Structure 1
Amino acid sequence: MSEVPSQENRQFRLDRIVEVLELLSTSKEGVLLMDIVAALGIPTSTAYKLLAEMRRVGMIEATNGRGRQRLTKRMTELGTIADRNAQKFASVEKYFDQLADELAETVYLVQLRGRLISLVGFSQPIETTGLHPGFAFPIHASAAGKILWAYQDEDLLETELKRSHIKFQDKTKVNPDEVRVALKDSLEKGYGIHDEEWDQGVLAIAVPVFLGRKMPVMAVGIVAVKDRVLKKYSIEEIVEKLEKLRDKISPILEEA
């Protein structure tokens, strides 16, 4: 019977991973296995297994075919994403401000990186209290998640649908077949919609942003108090305004 690692041992392993990341962050050419063994004071076999696992999950990569390890592009960019998001959103923020004030609701921009959809920025209206768009946009319970995942390749989609998804409300669909139907509907309509599936009383709509690609890499959307916004605008009118916003910002973001 295999021994279950203690919390202390698991924490120590995480500490080792952090130490390897810190060590590799100091070198562009990469670091040798024996450098890591010496720096961390661990057995060669342990270091070898640790590096193999870090390569498997995309933290590090071998370079130059000479046994050196370096951080992947994904890892080197992690610490700069927030700053780059701020710069990116600043270049188009005035257009988001205008639409937020016009709709009297929050308008936001998200980006798809790998399988995660992250918030780039948002504008809230001046005259009313706008909702925060949040930081998570799951495939089954968010407007942006539905429209961005609707365009993804089948193998990626299949993997994502097999993951566990939270049933936030009674009406939230978590069955893979039901989620597929929602994605197909989003693809056909050209927009994703969240209708009280995560938060009661909240409506969100998002349209894809392609930036010259076949599959969208971003989405613009609105998150609103449902009763308030639908008293003034139909869903079709909101979609049209979001599409006009997309057309304004796309040339700018392509150069950002």
Structure 2
Amino acid sequence: MAHEGGLALVRKSVEVLDLLAAKGEATAAQLAEELGEPRSSVYRLLSSLQGLDMVEGGSRRGTFRLGFHLLTLGTAVVERFDERRFAQPVMERLHDETGETVYLCVQRGREAVCIERLDGRRVQSLALKLGGALPLHAGAASRALLAFQDRSAWSDYLEQGPVERFTPSTPVTADTLIPVLEETLDTGVSVSDQDVTVGVAALGVPILDYRGQVRAALSISGVREAILGTDPAGLRERLVEAGQEISRALGWQAVTGAVADFG
């Protein structure tokens, strides 16, 4: 019974931290309402988390936000990814050359999780934040991760759960998603045209390992005119070259020999 109680407390703590991550700041009353828990219980839990530096006081009286200890934990998680280590200098160069937001994502279950993001000079308020996630059917990096898996994974993804529509352009059925994945597989570049945020577009490419299997996805995003308007071929070429450079660092092509370019 004590073991079950301990697990319940850990689960509730994680739920509180997740809510604070989503909201930025919240009061104990707001969190209690979201969780369906007594305000006094939530306040005691927040006090305990505050003592561990997991939570701290917010910018307004009575509010709470995530604490700096989580930054240490998050940094330790992010730094274990070889993809990020190899991608960092390539992403910085791509960012300097284009001025757009550059992402690196890895798959976790049915989602693409952003493990690195360099903010663009023109557009910064994009949907995918560092540490945030999008479902695999939405966005350029997400679909690059899904497209380069076995086709059986496509069907499994559609069958295993609800598929969220973000905008009228989001592909949410087999008839709309599978052709997009096939095009991505054929061209090597995933195109997101306002299917996550209206007015915003993105391009994505896979990062492959020594087995030729997708390990991550590199993406560039900005206002639609900048990504798909002025010089889309040149931007695609830069992105593909960047993706291939990171993939070679992970052993792609150097070990497997003649592997078809993914761009």
Same fold (TM over 0.5): yes
Q: Does 1:112 align with 2:107?
A: yes
Deviations 1:34-72 (A, max 9, x none): xxxxxxxxxxxxxxxxxxxxxxxxxxxxxxxxxxxxxxx
Deviations 1:62-85 (A, max 9, x none): xxxxxxxxxxxxxxxx99533424
Partner SS, residue 137 of structure 1: strand
Structure 2, unmatched stretches of 5+, are 12-73, 253-263
Partner SS, residue 180 of structure 2: helix
Q: What does residue 89 of structure 1 align with?
A: 84
Q: What does residue 250 of structure 1 align with?
A: 247
Deviations 1:187-228 (A, max 9, x none): 111111110011001001101111222321111110111123
What TM-score results when the alignment is normalised by the length of structure 1? 0.61
CA shift for structure 1 position 237: 1.6
Q: CA 1:16–1:154 in structure 2 vs 1: closer, same or farther (change >3 Å)?
A: farther
Q: What does residue 65 of structure 1 align with?
A: none
Q: Does 1:142 align with 2:139?
A: yes
Counterpart of 2:212 (choices 198, 211, 214) is 214
Q: CA 1:114–1:230 in structure 2 vs 1: closer, same or farther (change >3 Å)?
A: closer
Q: CA 1:84–1:13 in structure 2 vs 1: closer, same or farther (change >3 Å)?
A: same
Q: CA 1:95–1:113 in structure 2 vs 1: closer, same or farther (change >3 Å)?
A: same
Calculate percent identity across the aligned residue pairs: 26
Q: What does residue 204 of structure 1 align with?
A: 202
State the alpha-carbon separation in 2 of the partners of residues 136 and 146 from structure 1: 13
> Which one has the largest radius of gyration?
1
CA shift for structure 1 position 153: 2.5
State the alpha-carbon separation in 2 of the partners of residues 139 and 129 from structure 1: 23
Q: What does residue 27 of structure 1 align with?
A: none
Partner SS, residue 108 of structure 1: strand
State the alpha-carbon separation in 1 of the partners of residues 239 and 181 from structure 2: 19
Q: What does residue 61 of structure 1 align with?
A: none
Partner SS, residue 84 of structure 1: coil
State the alpha-carbon separation in 1 of the partners of residues 190 and 90 from structure 2: 21
State the alpha-carbon separation in 1 of the partners of residues 138 and 99 from structure 2: 23
CA shift for structure 1 position 151: 2.3
Structure 1, unmatched stretches of 5+, are 1-10, 19-77
State the alpha-carbon separation in 1 of the partners of residues 188 and 109 from structure 2: 22
Q: CA 1:194–1:231 in structure 2 vs 1: closer, same or farther (change >3 Å)?
A: closer
Q: Does 1:15 align with 2:11?
A: no
Alignment RMSD (CA, Å): 3.1
CA shift for structure 1 position 14: 5.4
